């Protein structure tokens, strides 16, 4: 679990999309589970590619592996449960 630092230049379409988003006022945080339209597109892609049922409600976006692991564990534990962690680990684990 290290920083996701690309070893290549930012592709021009990504730069243009970022500029367009900024010019459109898309500068706020999104919903915690992700932008609804993107979640829908991902669900459609999963259905098409893997021939399994998938709805946007079943798709949760994260900002990285650390958050994904936290979300997965948090979804199955309850207050008072004991959780074993690897060591060394990230501070927020």
Q: Which of 60, 64, 62, 67 is nearest to 93 (CA)?
A: 67
pTM, two decimals, is 0.68
Condensed to tens digits (0 to 9), the pLDDT of residues 33-66 reads 999 999 999 999 999 999 999 999 999 999 888 8
On whether the CB atoms of residues 65 and 43 are closer than 8 A, the answer is: no
Neighbours of 54 (CB within 10 A): 16
Condensed to tens digits (0 to 9), the pLDDT of residues 76-93 reads 999 999 988 777 776 665
Condensed to tens digits (0 to 9), the pLDDT of residues 14-24 reads 999 999 999 99
């Amino acid at each position: 679990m290290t920083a996701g630092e690309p070893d290549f230049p930012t592709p021009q379409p990504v730069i243009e999309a970022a500029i367009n988003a900024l010019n459109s006022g898309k500068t706020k945080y999104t919903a915690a589970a992700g932008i609804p339209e993107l979640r829908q597109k991902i669900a459609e892609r999963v259905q098409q590619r893997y021939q399994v049922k998938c709805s946007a409600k079943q798709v949760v976006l994260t900002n990285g592996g650390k958050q994904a692991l936290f979300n997965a564990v948090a979804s199955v534990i309850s207050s008072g449960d004991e959780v074993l962690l690897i060591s060394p680990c990230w501070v927020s684990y």
